[in-house]
Chains A and B, each alone.
Chain A
Amino acid sequence: MPFSSVSFLYFFLPVTAALYFSASRKMKNLILLIASMFFYFYGEPVYSLLMAFSSLTGYLYGLWIQKAKSKKEARFALICSVVFSIGLLVFFKYSDFFIENINSLTGADIPLLYIPLPIGISFYTFQILSYTIDVYRGQVEAERNIIDFSAYVSLFPQLIAGPIVRYCDIRNDLRSRSHSVSGAASGAGRFVIGLTKKVLIANTLAELVSSLANAAESTVLLYWISAAAFSLQIYYDFSGYSDMAIGLGRIFGFHFPENFNYPFVSKSVTEFWRRWHISLGTWFRDYVYIPMGGSRIGKANRIRNILVVWFLTGFWHGAQWNFVIWGLYFAFLLITEKLFLKRVLDRLPRFFRHLYLILAVTISFVIFNSNGTAMMRTTLKGMFGALGLPFSGVETVYYLESYAVVLLIAAVGATPAAAIAAKRLKKSRPGEKAAVFLEPALYACMLLLATGYLVDGSFNPFLYFRF
């Protein structure tokens, strides 16, 4: 049940909110847990048991690690926890990938398992892992209340698409959180903004990407429009979903970490990854990169660490080679920047640094969006004129004209310009007064408009569900 669905918006959410706010303080986490389990059951009836089982084992491992009589036992418990969590993830997400590659490398004929990917498994597995590691490190106390812990793992706002919320981030909120009109209002506003980003912009761009993929003609410009549209689509899709998650969290009294910070305004790939999918980047930094020695080791080992982290980051996104290549592509850029490119970039005018970043990221999403390496090669060749295609054609021009405004709005909206303008406006006295009525009216219009889009169309995919 995506947030951007009529079932969620007009059935699940109002009912859950009504039950939650009418419940006593003690019962609130139980209500959230039941609602979250139903939310997951709605999309994955059978795999709900898997998620419940993962929660239970995470809870028990946490207690075991904390109660271990020696560091050795605690370490053993942690290893068991990591092997179990990663094992489940590998089995459900990567089995067929490994079988396919073993078959093609050895000529074996091991049958594929065709296991459907449980929704959100990558997200909740990483949450459980971060919890058990933090307990082992002594950074948090093991949670004794199984309802609170299960609510943490299964909390519906961030269950299926993040942000990856660490236990330490919301431990206090889980135990005692305050609910305020201003908190809920800011959450509702954030949710509506995220919904609008997802439904109006991302879905419209997805239509463009789909139309271009099925176009009768191939041109250089068409490949570029498609690449740019997909880059913006995935940003609006994922950041919109994160906005909705953070907004829902605020409504229910939680403070989730930010996941995006206008990544397209970056001037280097290093900066881009500080602004894109922040919760994943910090997770790999804290639980893989730093334990391997981070940046405080020799150059060769540092490069090795970056390669490992970005191989894993790519692989986390999906069990296909293009995701691995995507991760390693970023590793290459990050290493190059660290070795010399950053120094060169710093001397260039701002415009060229942006241009470099936009080009690098656009190419990265071509790799990301490719269904196989052959498609990736063809698209990249097409973009750079290596297929001998004409520059443009009637179909290309038609789609460019038809989606020009959406592309322009999406490009401008990916910068902080609108937020800065709104902030300035609200600071002025007349602006502040007008905002009292205009802001609620604007949110109401956006919600109704998004509803119109949802009711009208069935084209409502969410890219990060597959991770």
Chain B
Amino acid sequence: MNRKLKDKLILICFFGILIGFLLANILTRDAAYSASERRKLARFPKLSSERIFDGTVFEQFDKYALDQFVLRDGFRGIKALFAYNLFRQKDNNGLYFWGDHIVKMKYKMNEESVLNAAKKMNGIYEKYFIGMDAYFAIIPDKNDYSASVSGRLSTDIEKMAGLLRNNMPDIREIKLFDTLSLDDYYLTDIHWKQENLTGTVNRLLESMGNPVRISGNDFEKKELYPFFGVYYGQAALPAKPDTLSLLTADSLEKSLVFDYERNEQIHIYAPEKFGGTDPYDVFLSGAKLLLKITDTQSETDRELVLFRDSFGSSIAPLLLTGYKTIFLVDLRYMSSELLPEYIDFSVKRDVLFLYGADVLNNSHMLK
């Protein structure tokens, strides 16, 4: 009797789950975009005899079935919970929790890529900036601060810096590691917090011979809440959101920001982007290939050309305190060959290559 009941229950559970999810998958509407993973989801494949016989339809259906699976985020959460708590794995898809932080374990250095980055930066310096003061700084990853205390692996940032130093003799290094700590980064995101960058900005200004220094009191905070960063969706588990603070001041509000790509003036902050795909786009409207920021109230004539990645968007407004004009160049989207069309290289400027280890490890993306 017991056995019969058990067998029936097994079959009810087994086919109940299979048929239940089959129907649920058919009946639920497909989503175009995953907010948690920040990516487009696969759609039902287009059918044609050619695509059926070359197998494309079935390959795409597999992706579609995975992407559009009902309760996808919940299932990913179940997997993450199991991996962390039962398998006791120290990371899940490379991510780990440390305190309230979600951190991605990045530790491999692509030496070839770092050397290529050095070659690229050297080439730009020699082509446009000979005789000017040029600097480079590596932005430490938040994992570089949590790895040693949490028993995870981290990048040998000193080795990376050494490679750049040895291959860029005319570009001086500015060390940033000791100006930051794990708490200077958002809990669920890769980026640093603008409001915690005063020490880093002062280190940069000092190293570049700029007499200006900043303090937190120079700015007002505008807070946006809740901020869920890029790691939040990837981790698939509940995590505390951050407050995203924008540091503003009268001079910043009145500064002019010109977007060469769209040929228009934009505002230094774009709080309306906070609800968008990437809330970090509030800083200088996110990814832009070339921007010129001018402080209309500046007491100095110094200018800076900042070669940057996304971290540069939040630090540039603070650096503007020491400069009249900053050009922000994102070589991930713009070829350096095009720069003379927009920047007059006869003017003496400071030059700063400010990149995170991610970009240096994937320098093929620098154009």
| Chain B positions within 8 Å of A188 at CB level | 10-11, 14-15
| Chain B positions within 8 Å of A335 at CB level | none
By the criterion CB–CB under 8 Å, are B53 and A45 in contact?
A: yes
Q: Which of B8, B15, B52, B62 contacts A17 (CB 8 A)?
A: B15
Task: Check if B19 is an interface residue, CB within 8 A of chain A.
Answer: yes
Task: Check if A374 is an interface residue, CB within 8 A of chain B.
Answer: no
Q: Which of A6, A405, A456 contacts B236 (CB 8 A)?
A: A456
Task: Check if A138 is an interface residue, CB within 8 A of chain B.
Answer: no
| Chain A positions within 8 Å of B35 at CB level | none
By the criterion CB–CB under 8 Å, are A395 and B153 in contact?
A: yes
- Bound Cα distance A189, B11 (Å): 9
Q: Which of B60-107 contact A (CB under 8 A)?
A: 61-62, 65-66, 69, 72, 75-80, 82-83, 86-91, 93, 107
| Chain A positions within 8 Å of B28 at CB level | none
By the criterion CB–CB under 8 Å, are A437 and B78 in contact?
A: no
Q: Which of B17, B58, B61, B79 contacts A453 (CB 8 A)?
A: B79
B68 to chain A, nearest CB (A): 10
By the criterion CB–CB under 8 Å, are B53 and A455 in contact?
A: no
Q: Which of A11, A182, A186 contacts B22 (CB 8 A)?
A: A11
Task: Check if A404 is an interface residue, CB within 8 A of chain B.
Answer: yes
| Chain B positions within 8 Å of A376 at CB level | none
A247 to chain B, nearest CB (A): 10
Of A84-92, A94-102, A233-241, A444-452, which binds chain B?
A444-452
| Chain B positions within 8 Å of A348 at CB level | none
| Chain A positions within 8 Å of B151 at CB level | 398, 401
Q: Which of B7, B14, B79, B108 contacts A455 (CB 8 A)?
A: B79
| Chain A positions within 8 Å of B107 at CB level | 216, 395
Scan B157-169; emit 1 where CB is below 8 A from any A CB, else 0.
0000000000000
By the criterion CB–CB under 8 Å, are A443 and B76 in contact?
A: no
Q: Give the total of A residues in contact with B, Cβ under 8 Å.
A: 61
A253 to chain B, nearest CB (A): 14
By the criterion CB–CB under 8 Å, are B11 and A184 in contact?
A: yes
Scan A452-467; emit 1 where CB is below 8 A from any B CB, else 0.
1111111000000000
By the criterion CB–CB under 8 Å, are A455 and B76 in contact?
A: yes
| Chain B positions within 8 Å of A224 at CB level | none
Task: Check if A13 is an interface residue, CB within 8 A of chain B.
Answer: yes
Of A23-31, A262-270, A428-436, which binds chain B?
A428-436
- Bound Cα distance A398, B90 (Å): 8
- Bound Cα distance A455, B82 (Å): 14
Given contacts A401-B90, A405-B87, contact A6 B69 (CB under 8 A): yes
Task: Check if A375 is an interface residue, CB within 8 A of chain B.
Answer: no
Task: Check if B2 is an interface residue, CB within 8 A of chain A.
Answer: yes
Task: Check if B212 is an interface residue, CB within 8 A of chain A.
Answer: no
By the criterion CB–CB under 8 Å, are B13 and A443 in contact?
A: yes
Q: Which of B2, B9, B69, B79 contacts A432 (CB 8 A)?
A: B2
Q: Which of B3, B13, B54, B236 contacts A444 (CB 8 A)?
A: B13
By the criterion CB–CB under 8 Å, are B6 and A456 in contact?
A: no
- Bound Cα distance A365, B233 (Å): 38
By the criterion CB–CB under 8 Å, are B15 and A185 in contact?
A: no
- Bound Cα distance A454, B67 (Å): 11
Q: Which of B14, B54, B90 contacts A443 (CB 8 A)?
A: B14
Task: Check if A127 is an interface residue, CB within 8 A of chain B.
Answer: no
Task: Check if A441 is an interface residue, CB within 8 A of chain B.
Answer: yes
- Bound Cα distance A437, B3 (Å): 10
B312 to chain A, nearest CB (A): 28
A230 to chain B, nearest CB (A): 18
Q: Which of A11-62 contact B (CB under 8 A)?
A: 11, 13-15, 17-18, 42-46
Task: Check if A114 is an interface residue, CB within 8 A of chain B.
Answer: no
Scan A385-411; emit 1 where CB is below 8 A from any B CB, else 0.
000000000110010011111100100
- Bound Cα distance A443, B6 (Å): 12
- Bound Cα distance A182, B14 (Å): 13
Q: Give the total of B residues in contact with A, Cβ under 8 Å.
A: 53
By the criterion CB–CB under 8 Å, are A435 and B6 in contact?
A: yes
Task: Check if A9 is an interface residue, CB within 8 A of chain B.
Answer: yes
Given contacts A398-B152, A457-B93, contact A7 B79 (CB under 8 A): no
- Bound Cα distance A151, B19 (Å): 25
By the criterion CB–CB under 8 Å, are B13 and A440 in contact?
A: yes
| Chain A positions within 8 Å of B9 at CB level | 436-437, 439-440
- Bound Cα distance A404, B151 (Å): 15
Dominant secondary structure of chain B at its interface with chain A: helix
By the criterion CB–CB under 8 Å, are A14 and B15 in contact?
A: yes
Q: Which of A11, A14, A189, A455 contacts B10 (CB 8 A)?
A: A189
Q: Which of B3, B11, B19, B80 contacts A14 (CB 8 A)?
A: B19
Task: Check if A150 is an interface residue, CB within 8 A of chain B.
Answer: no
Q: Which of A138-182 contact B (CB under 8 A)?
A: 181-182
Given contacts A182-B4, A188-B10, A216-B108, contact A10 B75 (CB under 8 A): no
| Chain A positions within 8 Å of B152 at CB level | 398
Which A-chain residue is minimally distant from B154 (CB atoms)? A394
- Bound Cα distance A456, B65 (Å): 12
By the criterion CB–CB under 8 Å, are B6 and A440 in contact?
A: yes
Given contacts A7-B61, A14-B18, A14-B19, contact A456 B79 (CB under 8 A): yes
Given contacts A10-B25, A403-B89, A448-B17, contact A45 B79 (CB under 8 A): no
By the criterion CB–CB under 8 Å, are A185 and B11 in contact?
A: yes
| Chain A positions within 8 Å of B6 at CB level | 185, 435-437, 439-440
A202 to chain B, nearest CB (A): 13
Given contacts A455-B66, A455-B75, contact A45 B11 (CB under 8 A): no
Task: Check if A66 is an interface residue, CB within 8 A of chain B.
Answer: no
A183 to chain B, nearest CB (A): 9
Given contacts A7-B62, A436-B9, contact A45 B52 (CB under 8 A): yes
Task: Check if A333 is an interface residue, CB within 8 A of chain B.
Answer: no
Task: Check if B21 is an interface residue, CB within 8 A of chain A.
Answer: yes
By the criterion CB–CB under 8 Å, are A454 and B15 in contact?
A: no
- Bound Cα distance A451, B65 (Å): 12
Q: Which of B61, B93, B108 contacts A456 (CB 8 A)?
A: B93
A324 to chain B, nearest CB (A): 31
| Chain A positions within 8 Å of B22 at CB level | 10-11, 14-15
| Chain B positions within 8 Å of A403 at CB level | 87, 89
By the criterion CB–CB under 8 Å, are B88 and A405 in contact?
A: yes
B361 to chain A, nearest CB (A): 12
By the criterion CB–CB under 8 Å, are A458 and B75 in contact?
A: no
- Bound Cα distance A167, B115 (Å): 62
Scan A217-252; emit 1 where CB is below 8 A from any B CB, else 0.
000000000000000000000000000000000000
- Bound Cα distance A394, B54 (Å): 46
Q: Which of B52, B65, B79 contacts A449 (CB 8 A)?
A: B79
Task: Check if B12 is an interface residue, CB within 8 A of chain A.
Answer: yes
- Bound Cα distance A18, B16 (Å): 12
- Bound Cα distance A395, B147 (Å): 12
Beyond known contacts A185-B8, A456-B93: 19 more, CB 8 A cutoff: A6-B69, A7-B65, A14-B15, A182-B3, A184-B7, A185-B7, A188-B11, A402-B89, A402-B90, A405-B86, A405-B89, A437-B9, A443-B10, A444-B14, A447-B17, A449-B82, A451-B21, A452-B78, A452-B82
A-B contact pairs, 30 of them (CB 8 A): A5-B62, A9-B18, A10-B21, A10-B25, A10-B65, A10-B69, A11-B25, A11-B65, A43-B58, A45-B54, A46-B53, A181-B11, A185-B8, A214-B108, A216-B108, A394-B153, A398-B153, A403-B89, A405-B88, A405-B89, A406-B89, A437-B9, A443-B10, A444-B13, A451-B75, A452-B76, A453-B79, A456-B75, A456-B80, A457-B93
The 5 closest A-B pairs by CB, nearest first: A185-B7, A452-B79, A440-B9, A452-B78, A402-B90
